[in-house]
Structure 1
Amino acid sequence: MSRQPRSWLFVPADSEKKIAKALDSDADALVFDLEDSVALDRKAAARDILKALPARSGGAQWWVRINPLRTDEHRLDLELLGKADIHGIMLPKAESGADITELAHRTGSIPIHAIVTETAASLFGLLSYRDVKASPLAAMSWGAEDLSAALGAASNKDSAGRYTPPYVLARTLTLAGAAAAGVQPVDGVFADFRDDQGLIDEALDAARDGFTGKLAIHPAQVGPINAAFSPTPEQVAHARAIVEAFAADSSAGVLSVHGRMVDKPHLIQAQRTLARAGE
């Protein structure tokens, strides 16, 4: 697929049953997890399962979440490259652009999706991803659960189910950092996979704010996420009208489309909408 993934579905890499269910889902990207969801004594088995995955043609992107930098398991995870059909690497607990540079020295040009707000120190390094030279960085997302543990919080949400200020800050910095770096901003997980309406509301809020995808922890979350990050037919038609209007008068700074004044920022938004729709 050429467009950016809307849904990024985590699946424990040591569970062939869960992998089979994930493969049957409509997720745009599958993230085979070798980190948090796999116990230490199961990591070797998980790597063997990934090596044995059959070759395929088309379908969802396959990513692997490796273990953090400078760990023994991280080094072993990188041996999967070239032995499994992997589109890209998800790096957990990234703290700055220097971590991307360090990983890229070992992995070359393979795309990297960095989870950039899982530690306290990471909150201070979001702009540094912009300055990584010849970067294979493709996406950035945030991790409320790991961050709350790192900060010693009792919870990351208030009594109404809204993120408290430290996590709103982390989310906002991730969005801004990804935009500054020119990579895909991906919203974090919605942990309660039984709360369909809560997931829908959070995904729609993320799409409104500028995120273009969201992490998922259960196949049932894929459909609502894909829907939330897919432009509606009305949005596509309006975006197409804006693009066509500027194409017809390229010297114009401001135009009227459907009775509303639009300028170059609206054109940029329209182009992004059409890209998300696959046009």
Structure 2
Amino acid sequence: MRLRSLLFVPGDRPERFAKAAASGADAIILDLEDSVSPANKDMAREAVADYLAGTREVITLVRVNPLDGHMTAADVAAVAAAAPDAIMLPKAEGAPSIAQLDTILRSEGGDAGHLPPILPIATETPAAIFTLGSYREARERLVGLTWGAEDLPAAIGAATSREADGSYTEPYRVARALTLFAAHGAGVAAIDTVFPAIKDEGGLSAYAARARRDGFTGMMAIHPSQVAPINAAFTPSADEVARAQAIVDAFAANPGAGVLQIDGKMIDAPHLKQARHILSLAD
């Protein structure tokens, strides 16, 4: 499941579903949580279920409501029969939250042998930060891990998660980094959070490029215009692919070598691993 870009769509705006699916995003997230008012929850569930029951053009996730809000079971009951490709779980708190959601999926969704994988938003509560390492225990149920920079500061009474220039303050740099390592520790996709300035394409491109540099494999989006820059950032360039292929070919031609020289630079096992990763992204 390739997840460079994941585009949010409010679940109570079904007229936007097809446009989102045609945006070029690798996946769309039909949202039943924050973007839908309490009065529109039932209508959103019905609209999402109707869409899922049709022909899908793209990987489709559903973001359900948090486990502590007593709406998760109703969300799952409404959409499970239509088999979403994955469930996004907000305010997740480690492997216990995955187990709790699985209990609801089995209860409301039927066939336990075909439970959809889960994409937790892993840093939205203070307690969640201390459970990030536990996702390794539930790795077979995960499609990835992502994080959020909005709910956590609200939960602890912080004024903001960002500096004046848009960069994260120190606590949220830590949350981002821990999510990155937790995802790779579990062997699943590391998905960076949204870039809220919709009209700042340059800022988005720079942010997405840094995310890929740091080891994230994809990023969430809140507007169709953000999809193309995100996809570009997480797709290796022709030069990157050529260099990666040269490294792989060099080691293939010298199977007993631990260290080689290419273009005057020494390369070894970590370079080979990175080269294979780049080629996998290109594929």
Q: TM-score under structure 1 normalisation?
A: 0.93
- CA–CA separation in structure 2 for the residues paired with 1:247 and 1:111: 36
Please name the residue that 2:160 is paired with.
155
- The reply to whether residue 41 of structure 1 matches residue 42 of structure 2 is no
- CA–CA separation in structure 2 for the residues paired with 1:251 and 1:99: 46
Contact 1:10 1:217 in 2 (8 A): yes
- CA–CA separation in structure 2 for the residues paired with 1:207 and 1:30: 20
Q: Once the 2 structures are TM-superposed, how far is the Cα of residue 276 of structure 1 from its aligned partner?
A: 1.0
- Structure 1 segments unaligned to the other structure (5+ residues): none
Residue type of the partner of 1:61? Answer: I
Q: How does 1:32-181 map to 2 (within 5 A)?
A: 32-53=30-51, 55-56=54-55, 59-107=57-105, 108=112, 109-132=115-138, 135-181=140-186
Contact 2:73 2:104 in 1 (8 A): no
- CA–CA separation in structure 2 for the residues paired with 1:261 and 1:91: 44
Q: Once the 2 structures are TM-superposed, how far is the Cα of residue 102 of structure 1 from its aligned partner?
A: 2.1
Please name the residue that 2:223 is paired with.
218
SS of the residue corresponding to residue 36 of structure 1 reads: coil
- CA–CA separation in structure 1 for the residues paired with 2:84 and 2:37: 22
SS of the residue corresponding to residue 215 of structure 1 reads: strand
Please name the residue that 2:109 is paired with.
none
Q: Once the 2 structures are TM-superposed, how far is the Cα of residue 81 of structure 1 from its aligned partner?
A: 4.3
Q: 1:115 to 1:227 in 2, by over 3 A?
A: same
**TM-align CA RMSD:** 1.6
Please name the residue that 1:9 is paired with.
7
SS of the residue corresponding to residue 214 of structure 1 reads: strand
Residue type of the partner of 1:8? Answer: L
Q: Once the 2 structures are TM-superposed, how far is the Cα of residue 251 of structure 1 from its aligned partner?
A: 2.5
- Post-superposition Cα deviations, 1:9-53, rounded to whole Å, max 9, x if no partner, equal 000011022223212211001000000000111111111111212
SS of the residue corresponding to residue 5 of structure 1 reads: coil
- The partner residue of 2:250 within 245, 250, 260 is 245
- Structure 2 segments unaligned to the other structure (5+ residues): 106-111
Contact 1:62 1:85 in 2 (8 A): no
Contact 2:191 2:219 in 1 (8 A): yes
Considering fraction of residues, name the structure with more helix.
Answer: 2
- CA–CA separation in structure 1 for the residues paired with 2:155 and 2:210: 26
- CA–CA separation in structure 2 for the residues paired with 1:125 and 1:50: 31
Residue type of the partner of 1:254? Answer: V
- CA–CA separation in structure 2 for the residues paired with 1:199 and 1:154: 23
Residue type of the partner of 1:114? Answer: P
- Post-superposition Cα deviations, 1:124-171, rounded to whole Å, max 9, x if no partner, equal 111111123x63111111100111111211111112221100111110
- CA–CA separation in structure 2 for the residues paired with 1:131 and 1:246: 35
Please name the residue that 1:205 is paired with.
210
Instruction: Report sequence identity in percent.
Output: 47
Q: 1:213 to 1:67 in 2, by over 3 A?
A: same
- State the number of aligned residues: 274
- CA–CA separation in structure 2 for the residues paired with 1:137 and 1:89: 9
Q: Once the 2 structures are TM-superposed, how far is the Cα of residue 255 of structure 1 from its aligned partner?
A: 1.6
Please name the residue that 2:200 is paired with.
195
- CA–CA separation in structure 2 for the residues paired with 1:92 and 1:35: 8
